[in-house]
Amino acid sequence: MKCSNLLLVPLLLISGLFCGLALDNSQSLLAQETQEGDRRLAESHALANVASHTLAVVPLADGIEAVVVLDPVRSTLSGYVLDRSTGNFFVRYSYGQLLRDFELTTNDAPQFTIVGGSPTFRGFTGNVRLANAAIYVAEKKSGKLAAYGFKWNTTYRANPPQGRQLPFVPLDAANFRFPAAAR
């Protein structure tokens, strides 16, 4: 009886070791799959941004993303959020002041381009905060860049905002073209 107990302990230890190695390997594979999924998501966003100068996709929260279209004819931004449960757009964002922000007129024939980003905002408080997402708009002739944010509240899916429409939030602007340095 004592001999079988002595054999049982090492057998259990070896079994536990193999189980631990298998569990560690499956967690490692899961982490690799998650990283691969994140990489593919980032690549798809980058491809969408490279493929079109007037379309950007940005993640807002928990698998919810917004698609933003820059209308070059009207110089406006429109954004739409797709409900992952129903497949319907349930929030719309809009902004019609791009010409003013870039100090241009329609006669200037502006040449805009947009790209989405995922900054992590801190310090915004209240019921409606900014999503960790931004749209960056650059305009070739003015040499200016502007950033716009999204108001976001996790309860929007259950209780969409009045009229289901929100404005983009202008964040900041900067010049990307500087005068040439004197030699």
- Per residue in 101-146, pLDDT (tens digit) is 999 998 999 999 999 998 888 776 666 588 889 999 999 999 999 9
Nearest partner of 90 among 170, 158, 153, judged by Cα? 158
pLDDT in tens, 67-76: 999 998 899 9
Q: pTM to 2 decimals?
A: 0.68
Residue 115 DSSP SS3: strand
pLDDT of 94 strictly over 90: yes
Phi, psi of 90 (to 5 degrees): -125, -10
- Residue 51: per-residue pLDDT: 43
Per-residue confidence band for 99, with pLDDT thresholds at 50, 70 and 90: very high
Average pLDDT for 17-27? 50
How many Å apart are CA 90 and CA 153, to the nearest integer?
A: 13
CA torsion angle 98 99 103 108 (round to 10)? 140
Residue 72 DSSP SS3: coil
Average pLDDT for 163-182? 85
Residue 157 DSSP SS3: coil
How many Å apart are CA 134 and CA 116, to the nearest integer?
A: 6
Nearest partner of 61 among 106, 36, 91, 39, judged by Cα? 91
Rg for the chain, CA atoms, rounded? 25
Average pLDDT for 59-68? 87
Which residue has better confidence, 87 or 11?
A: 87
Contacts 24+ apart (CB under 8 A), 60-63: 60/131, 60/132, 60/133, 60/150, 60/152, 61/131, 61/132, 61/152, 61/154, 62/154
